[in-house]
Amino acid sequence: MGIAQENRVEVKSMLTAVSSKPSRSARVHPFTALDNAMSPHTLHVIVYYPRSPFGSFDLDSVRISLSELLSMYPPVVGRVAKTPDGILEVKCNDAGLRTLKAKVCVGIDEWLRSADGHDESDLTAWGDMPEDPSTWAPFRLQINEFQGGGVAIGLSCPHRQADATTLTVLLKSWTEAQRRRCIVHPPSFSPLPSILTDDTDAVKPNSATISKPISTKTATATFRFSSSSFKKYIEEDGIFPKASPFDVFAALFWTRVALVKRKSHDRVCMCVDFRRLLPNPLPYGFFGNALNFSSLEMTNVADQGIVHVARLINDHVTNLTVEKIRSDLNRVGEQELMYGGDLTIVNMEHMIVEGDPMMYEAVFEDGVRPVHVSYRIGNVGGEGVIMVMPSPEKGFGRVVSVTLPEEEVSKLLVDQEILRFEPKIILSGVK
Amino acid sequence: MPQAPMPELTSSVKLKYVKLGYQYLVNHFLSFLLIPIMAIGAVELLRMGPEEILNVWNSLEFDLVQVLCTSFFVIFISTVYFMSKPRTIYLVDYSCYKPPVTCRVPFATFMEHSRLILKDKPKSVEFQMRILERSGLGEETSLPPAIHYIPPTPTMDAARSEAQLVIFTAMDDLFKKTGLKPKDVDILIVNCSLFSPTPSLSAMVINKYKLRSNIKSVNLSGMGCSAGLISVDLARDLLQVHPNSNAIIVSTEIITPNYYQGNERAMLLPNCLFRMGAAAILMSNRRSDRWRAKYKLSHLVRTHRGSDDKSFYCVYEQEDKEGHVGINLSKDLMAIAGEALKANITTIGPLVLPASEQLLFLLSLIGRKIFNPKLKPYIPDFKLAFEHFCIHAGGRAVIDELQKNLQLSGEHVEASRMTLHRFGNTSSSSLWYELSYIESKGRMRRGDRVWQIAFGSGFKCNSAVWKCNRTIKTPKDGPWSDCIDRYPVFIPEVVKL
DSSP annotation of B274 reads: B
Are B246 and B92 spatial neighbours (Cβ–Cβ below 8 Å)? yes
* Sign of the torsion angle spanned by Cα atoms B465, B299, B393, B385: negative
Contacts with A19 from chain B: Cβ below 8 Å? 104, 106
pLDDT of residue A210: 46
Contacts with A55 from chain B: Cβ below 8 Å? none
Are B458 and B473 spatial neighbours (Cβ–Cβ below 8 Å)? no
Q: Does A209 touch chain B (CB under 8 A)?
A: no
Residue A145 host element (H or E): strand A140-145
pLDDT of residue A200: 53
Q: Give me Rg for the CA atoms of chain A.
A: 21
Q: Does A26 touch chain B (CB under 8 A)?
A: no
Q: Check B148 against A67: CB less than 8 A apart.
A: no
State in Å, rounded, how far the first CA of chain B is from the last one. 46
pLDDT of residue B468: 96
d(CA A31, CA A330): 15
Q: Check A64 against B108: CB less than 8 A apart.
A: no
Q: Check A14 against B105: CB less than 8 A apart.
A: no
Q: Quick one: pLDDT band at residue B445, thresholds 50, 70, 90?
A: very high
Instruction: Among A13, A67, A94, select the one facing B102 at the smallest CB separation.
Output: A67
A188 CB contacts (<8 Å, ≥6 apart)?
A: A282, A283, A285, A286, A287
DSSP annotation of B457 reads: T
Are B300 and B465 spatial neighbours (Cβ–Cβ below 8 Å)? yes
Query: What 3-state DSSP class applies to A236?
Result: helix
Mean pLDDT of B123-129: 92
Outline where DSSP puts E strands in B351-472. Answer: 388-391, 449-456, 460-468
Q: Check B104 against A67: CB less than 8 A apart.
A: yes
Q: What is the chain A residue with the closest CA to B105?
A: A18
Q: What is the chain B residue with the closest CA to A78?
A: B108
CB contacts < 8 A (A, B): 70
Residue type, A134: S
d(CA A315, CA B321): 73
Instruction: Among A15, A20, A93, select the one facing B149 at the smallest CB separation.
Output: A15
Instruction: Among B104, B149, B161, select the one facing A18 at the smallest CB separation.
Output: B104
pLDDT of residue B49: 78
Of the candidates A72, A51, A124, the one whose C-alpha atom is nearest the C-alpha of residue A364 is: A51
Helices (H), A71-133: 108-114, 117-121
Instruction: Among A14, A66, A95, select the one facing B108 at the smallest CB separation.
Output: A95
Contacts with A68 from chain B: Cβ below 8 Å? 101
Mean pLDDT of B316-341: 91
pLDDT of residue B199: 95
Q: Are strands B295-304 and B277-284 parallel, antiparallel or unpaired?
A: unpaired
Q: Check B116 against A93: CB less than 8 A apart.
A: no
DSSP annotation of B244 reads: T
Instruction: Among A13, A15, A20, select the one facing B104 at the smallest CB separation.
Output: A20
d(CA B166, CA B180): 19
Q: Check A59 against B101: CB less than 8 A apart.
A: no
**pTM of structure:** 0.90
d(CA B250, CA A285): 47
Q: Does A99 touch chain B (CB under 8 A)?
A: no
What is the pLDDT tens value at each position of chain A, 431 positions in all? 444 457 889 999 999 999 999 987 778 999 998 999 998 899 999 999 999 999 989 989 999 999 999 999 999 999 999 999 889 999 999 999 999 999 999 999 999 998 888 889 999 999 888 989 999 999 999 999 999 999 999 999 999 999 999 999 999 999 999 999 999 999 999 888 888 776 555 445 444 444 455 566 888 999 999 988 888 777 776 667 778 899 999 999 999 998 888 776 578 999 999 999 998 899 999 999 999 999 988 888 778 788 888 889 999 998 888 888 888 888 887 878 889 888 999 999 999 998 899 999 999 999 999 999 999 998 888 889 999 999 998 888 999 999 999 888 989 889 888 888 888 888 887 65
Instruction: Among B106, B113, B145, select the one facing A94 at the smallest CB separation.
Output: B106
pLDDT of residue B47: 83
pLDDT of residue A3: 43
Q: Check A96 against B112: CB less than 8 A apart.
A: yes
pLDDT of residue B67: 86
Are A401 and A375 spatial neighbours (Cβ–Cβ below 8 Å)? yes
CB atoms within 10 A of CB A5: 12
Are B129 and B497 spatial neighbours (Cβ–Cβ below 8 Å)? yes
Contacts with B120 from chain A: Cβ below 8 Å? none
Are B290 and B244 spatial neighbours (Cβ–Cβ below 8 Å)? no
DSSP annotation of A91 reads: E
pLDDT of residue B368: 81
pLDDT of residue A4: 45
pLDDT of residue A215: 60
pLDDT of residue A308: 86
Q: Chain B neighbours among A 49-88 (CB < 8 Å)?
A: 58-59, 63-64, 66-68, 79
CB atoms within 10 A of CB B114: 23
The mean-pLDDT minimum among A200-214, A340-354, B114-128, B174-188 falls in A200-214
Q: Check A59 against B113: CB less than 8 A apart.
A: no
The mean-pLDDT minimum among A219-223, B360-364, B427-431 falls in B360-364
Residue B191, by phi and psi: left (phi above 0), alpha (psi -120 to 50) or beta? beta
Q: What is the ipTM of this complex?
A: 0.91
Of the candidates B270, B281, B273, B280, the one whose C-alpha atom is nearest the C-alpha of residue B423 is: B273
Residue B32 CA, distance from chain mean position: 35
Which residues of B are the active-site residues? 225, 304, 388, 392, 421, 425
Q: What is the chain A residue with the closest CA to B119?
A: A135
Contacts with B165 from chain A: Cβ below 8 Å? 59
Q: Check B113 against A16: CB less than 8 A apart.
A: yes
Q: Check B102 against A96: CB less than 8 A apart.
A: no
